[in-house]
């Protein structure tokens, strides 16, 4: 009987607490969103499963020498996994639409306003006692507004690792909800006539331009803001491999096998930080609320910047493509195209929207560098 009793005491059922049980339910919900609703399944499946493993009592997989602990320590705490993801994103990115219409760089820059507005909002709410975030935590929360999961994980791992799980969940959730969150904001800030604006055909971009651009971009930004060099450097390196045309095997590996393998371990590592102590609190609700605000402000800022540019420009810009300035590539571009087609069935904005969309990736990397320099120093 003693051996049976000891067996029962060593079981997970005997050791499980309310917090762990609640987190397992949260992780099961993440799996439901990923599998049934197809919300960012590549990350939410791995994050959810990693969270379940780390919350089962008696399973030392997320502590000590456990697999998930080592994955987090080696890949996320050091920033290696997000950087490799950025290299893969760069290898899949075409700078052509941005180079064909350089003005769209301003739209990508404007969409990053949500990041800094949320930083100030988190500081303000903490100063009046509603929330309790220090400057590093506020900066890590603000980056959610860039709608760029790897960047959010990179910044959170550097500045606020204790909030990594909640920030990652918020970032990827809002990326998945782009088709739901953005259209009402876009329609509210534009008139029917503005949504019907047809943009001129983009010029053809030469191969030389595409090769030189990532090199110039890296040198310009890295020399001015060294803290942005890791993210932007890997992004530009991946893009250079794509455009130079002489390392097709490396490009193929970076675009497919490598980024897929790293995505698995990145998600499991993030899931290992989904403990009840770090997740089930008022701060997590604050992060979700501030993240939503950041994303909405970023979307609105891009649209308003496009409207402002139309005042001073003889060549009109459809304000809808300003919403694509957030970094959710290519989903934000597809949303802009879809809303535009509703007003004008002949108005295809997808390639035009890719310009600010790619600019948003650059902008979020630069914003991450600014936040790390500002808050981490």
The domains of the chain are located at: 79-376
Mean pLDDT for the stretch of residues 98-120: 92
Confidence class of residue 144 from pLDDT cuts 50, 70 and 90? confident
Peptide bond into 13 cis (omega under 30): no
Dihedral (Cα; 229, 230, 235, 239), 10-degree rounding: 70
- Taking residue 21's Cβ as centre, other Cβ atoms within 10 Å add up to 13
Cβ contacts of 308 within 8 Å, gap of 6 or more: none
Write down the pLDDT at residue 239.
97
User: What is the percentage of the chain residues whose pLDDT exceeds 70?
Assistant: 96
Burial class of residue 79 (count of CB atoms within 10 Å of its CB; 0-12, 13-18, 19+): middle
Write down the pLDDT at residue 27.
93
Write down the pLDDT at residue 213.
97
CB 71 within 8 A of CB 268: yes
Write down the pLDDT at residue 294.
87
Write down the pLDDT at residue 319.
95
Write down the pLDDT at residue 180.
87
Whether the pLDDT of residue 240 is over 60: the answer is yes
Residue with tokens 């936040």: 371
Write down the pLDDT at residue 105.
93
Mean pLDDT for the stretch of residues 127-153: 88
Greater confidence (146 vs 22) lies with 22
Whether the pLDDT of residue 23 is over 70: the answer is yes
Residue with tokens 């959010």: 152
Write down the pLDDT at residue 91.
96
pLDDT digits (tens, 9 = 90+) for 204-239: 999 999 999 999 999 999 999 999 999 999 999 999
Confidence class of residue 255 from pLDDT cuts 50, 70 and 90? very high
Mean pLDDT for the stretch of residues 161-168: 88
Whether the pLDDT of residue 7 is over 80: the answer is no
Cβ contacts of 343 within 8 Å, gap of 6 or more: 192, 195, 196
Write down the pLDDT at residue 329.
82
- How many residues are present in the chain? 377
Burial class of residue 38 (count of CB atoms within 10 Å of its CB; 0-12, 13-18, 19+): exposed
Write down the pLDDT at residue 264.
95
Write down the pLDDT at residue 314.
83
Q: Give the DSSP letter string of 231-274.
A: HHHHHHHHHHHHHHSS-HHHHHHIIIIIHHHHHHHHHHHHHTT-
Whether the pLDDT of residue 131 is over 70: the answer is yes
If you average pLDDT over each of 4-8, 276-280, 338-342, which comes out highest? 338-342
Whether the pLDDT of residue 143 is over 70: the answer is yes
If you average pLDDT over each of 31-40, 111-120, 234-243, which comes out highest? 234-243
Q: What gap in Å lies between CA 219 and CA 279, rounded to an integer?
A: 39
Biggest alpha carbon distance in the chain? 87
Mean pLDDT for the stretch of residues 88-113: 93
Whether the pLDDT of residue 6 is over 70: the answer is no
Write down the pLDDT at residue 13.
58
Write down the pLDDT at residue 368.
93
Q: What gap in Å lies between CA 254 and CA 210, rounded to an integer?
A: 18
Mean pLDDT for the stretch of residues 48-53: 92
């Amino acid at each position: 009987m003693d051996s049976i009793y000891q067996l029962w005491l060593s079981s997970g059922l005997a050791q499980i607490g309310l917090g762990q049980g609640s987190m397992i339910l949260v992780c099961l919900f993440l799996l439901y969103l990923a599998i049934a609703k197809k919300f960012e399944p590549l990350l939410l499946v791995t994050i959810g499963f990693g969270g379940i493993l780390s919350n089962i009592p008696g399973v030392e997989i997320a502590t000590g020498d456990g697999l998930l602990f080592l994955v987090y320590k080696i890949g996320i705490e050091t920033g290696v996994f997000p950087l490799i993801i950025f290299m893969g994103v760069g290898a899949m990115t075409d700078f052509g639409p941005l180079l064909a219409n350089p003005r769209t760089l301003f739209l990508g820059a404007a969409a990053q306003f949500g990041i800094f507005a949320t930083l100030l909002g988190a500081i303000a709410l903490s100063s009046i006692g509603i929330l309790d975030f220090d400057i590093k935590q506020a900066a890590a929360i603000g980056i959610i507004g860039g709608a760029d999961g790897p960047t959010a994980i990179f910044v959170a791992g550097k500045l606020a690792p204790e909030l990594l799980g909640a920030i990652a969940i918020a970032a990827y959730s809002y990326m998945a909800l782009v088709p739901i969150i953005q259209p009402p904001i876009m329609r509210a800030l534009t008139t029917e006539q503005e949504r019907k604006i047809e943009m001129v055909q983009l010029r053809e971009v030469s191969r030389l331009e595409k090769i030189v651009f990532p090199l110039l971009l890296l040198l310009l930004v890295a020399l001015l803001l060294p803290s942005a060099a890791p993210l932007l450097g890997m992004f530009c390196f991946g893009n250079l491999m794509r455009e130079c045309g002489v390392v097709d095997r490396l490009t193929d590996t970076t675009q497919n096998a490598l980024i897929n393998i790293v995505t698995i371990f990145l998600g499991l590592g993030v899931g290992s930080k989904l403990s009840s102590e770090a997740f089930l609190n008022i701060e997590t609700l604050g992060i979700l609320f501030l993240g939503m605000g950041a994303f909405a402000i970023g979307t609105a800022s891009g649209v308003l910047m496009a409207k402002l540019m139309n005042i001073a420009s003889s060549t009109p810009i459809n304000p809808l493509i300003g919403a694509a300035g957030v970094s959710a590539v290519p989903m934000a571009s597809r949303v802009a195209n879809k809303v535009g087609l509703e007003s004008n069935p002949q108005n295809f904005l997808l390639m035009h929207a890719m310009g600010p969309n790619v600019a948003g990736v650059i902008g979020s990397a630069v914003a991450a560098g600014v936040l790390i320099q500002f808050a981490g120093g």
